[in-house]
Structure 1
Amino acid sequence: MALYTAHLPQWKKDEITTIKRLSSEYKLVGLVDMYGIPARQVQDIRRNLRGKAELIMTRNTLIEHAFGEIGGSITDLSSHLSGHSALIFTNENPFKLYSMLEKTKTKMAARPGETAPEDIVVSKGPTSFRPGPIVGELQQAGIPAAIEAGKVTIRETKTVVKAGQEINKKLADALAKLDIKPMDVGLILQAAFYEGSIYESDVLAIDETAFYNSIITAATHAFNLSVNAAYPTRDTASALLTKAVREARGVGVEAAVTSSDIIDAVLGKAQAQAMALQNVVG
């Protein structure tokens, strides 16, 4: 049922109209999480997506209004709205869009209180710092630093925080000074509406290379099964005929059938057997 919007100010009505128009013009409507993305990076993302997708930032309530007025299955997309959602429109399929957005992500320095997306490792070796307070700052952050040959050096490779653990302020400051950027920042596809269905991010995060290799392996197994079972298809007919000819030839040679196609092999086998017998009796 369409939502009542007569009481809304004109600028809100205009935004709802824009959402409805774009939803009808594009095959896919998606929600992306904008949390923690600096304005400068948003501009970079827009530039990278130009010609492939359109990004619209607006209020969640207006998105709900627009989906309600459109009606149908797209209204289910509203349940995936969060505090920092934005809309993305494209004609690509959900898997392609997810892959595109992953490629727009960049590395950024960690901020205090953020969760490590993976184990953060500080590698052994010299740094560009001269001796000074930096040594104590690194040590307080749990990084084994010392002075060697007039420079600050990391004495051993160390995992300073495990995946899923919180990054405290001292460690965040130390990592920033070492130019270690562990955080992936970019648009996160929360859900997408495409051809009448909702696709959530967990089903879209696939390893394309591994998926491709799995298809190749499955096709190879299917081909071999078809050939071994003598099940003819367009793809296996040639291999089946070759296998049948080879096996028929083998049977003919073993049975000493004097066919013009295998007479040379039959005579060759007979000669080999005669020579073997001669060696035994001689």
Structure 2
Amino acid sequence: MSEPAKWKVELVDSITNEINNSPVAAVVSIKGLRNKEFQKIRNDLRSDAHIKVMRARLLQRAFKNSNKKSIGNMAEFANGQVALLTTKETPKSIYDILESKRTKAAARGGEIAEDDIIIEPKETNFPPGPMITVFQKAGIPAGIEKGKIVIKSEVKLVKKGEVITKDKAQILEKLEILPVTVGLDLLSAYEDGIIFTRDVLSITVESIMADLSKAFFGAKNIAMEIKYLVPETVKEFISKAYLEAQELALTTNFVDEKNIEIFIRKAAINAGAINALTNKDLNNENIEDKKEEKKEESKEEKSEDDAASGLGALFG
């Protein structure tokens, strides 16, 4: 079996010492980062952390060689394009710092769209020429106005979750649309024998408070359902009992000093309703009487007309 190269042994020993001497060691992914973007982030973090890019297998070996408790388990996160980050900051603090350094960048092709990529209607800076064919081929409605290529209507170039093809990435770059978020992705961090994963470090105070609030109200609803008395439910039970007692008193016509006003209002409403019905009946009777009077008057008039007609026949 051949011996490993001397430079590899020296590098692993150096990294192992760095891990042993640092309060916090983390594995970060550099996948998708261009060198220029990586160097900028590295420079921005110079006062907060030290970053060392190396082969994943060598980093795995360094973790396994470390004398820190359980840190060898960090090796399982060291896969692909990764770097070692060492810092005096807490795992949560360094995670938040890395997230704050994330920026938007142009797509190169092959990335997954984080959201729908929409092309808005607008005038471009491109003169008439081959670009109009490129736009039309990609399904972007384009025309020429005042000597420039114009995108005539909104189009969804890439849907969320779809792969951004190389051709579409080139169009987006020409339109100065930056659909990709780039930065160092913290995969795991080690401190005092504990390994913190990304999903744990991404938890915010706001999300914790929201979960606690949801759990509290859920537990309170269950307590109300099963009639379980605790300080948080006593007021609701007393209020509910009072309302039920009031409803029972009204149903059974039980009057006391607390509900007498309700009975008085109820009596006033009933009296008003009876008064309205009485007046309606009286009005109906008056109308009927007037109809009868009109009928009698009509009969009398007809009788007088008949008598006059008879006399006219005698003396005609």
With the length of structure 1 as denominator, give the TM-score of the two structures: 0.71
Q: Does 1:91 align with 2:90?
A: yes
The letter of the residue matching 1:33 is S
Tell me: higher relative CO, structure 1 or 2? Use CA pairs within 8 A at least 6 residues apart: 1
Unaligned runs of 5+ in 1: 1-5
* CA-to-aligned-CA distance 1:206-231 (integer Å, 9 cap, x gap): 79988866664554444344334432
Greater helix share, structure number: 2
Residue in 1 that maps onto 2:300: none
User: Does the C-alpha gap of structure 1 residues 35 and 127 become closer, same or farther in structure 2, counting only changes over 3 Å?
Assistant: same
**Residue number among 103, 124, 129 corresponding to 2:126 in the alignment:** 129
What is aligned with 1:56?
51
Aligned residues: 268
**Quick check: 1:33–1:190 contact (8 Å CA) kept in 2?**
yes
Q: Mark the CA change 1:143 to 1:265 in structure 2 (over 3 Å): closer, same or farther.
A: closer
Distance in 2 separating the partners of 1:33 and 1:157: 35
Distance 2:27 2:264 in 1: 76
Alignment of 1:167 onto 2:165: yes
Deviation at 1:78, TM superposition (A): 0.6
2:254 is aligned, of 246, 257, 261, to 257
Question: Helix, strand or coil: the match of 2:33?
Answer: coil
Q: TM-score, normalised by structure 2?
A: 0.65
Q: Given the alignment of the two structures, is residue 246 of structure 1 paired with residue 214 of structure 2, yes or no?
A: no
Distance in 2 between residues matched to 1:32 and 1:279, nearest whole Å: 83
Runs of 5+ unmatched residues, structure 2: 1-5, 280-316
- After superposition, the C-alpha distances for 1:136-159 in whole angstroms (9 at most, x for unaligned) are 444455544321232111234334
Code of the aligned partner of 1:17: N
* CA RMSD, Structure 1 to Structure 2 (Å): 4.0
Provide the secondary structure at the position in 1 that maps to 2:66. helix
Say whether the 8 Å CA contact 1:123–1:156 is kept in structure 2: yes
2:126 is paired with a residue of what secondary structure? Answer: coil
Aligned counterpart, 1:19 = 19
Structure 1 residues 21 and 186: CA distance shift in structure 2, 3 A: same
Indicate the residue corresponding to 2:113 in structure 1.
117
Match for residue 227 of structure 1? Answer: 224
Deviation for aligned residue 1:33: 0.5
* Residues 243 and 179 of structure 1, relative CA distance in 2, 3 Å threshold: same
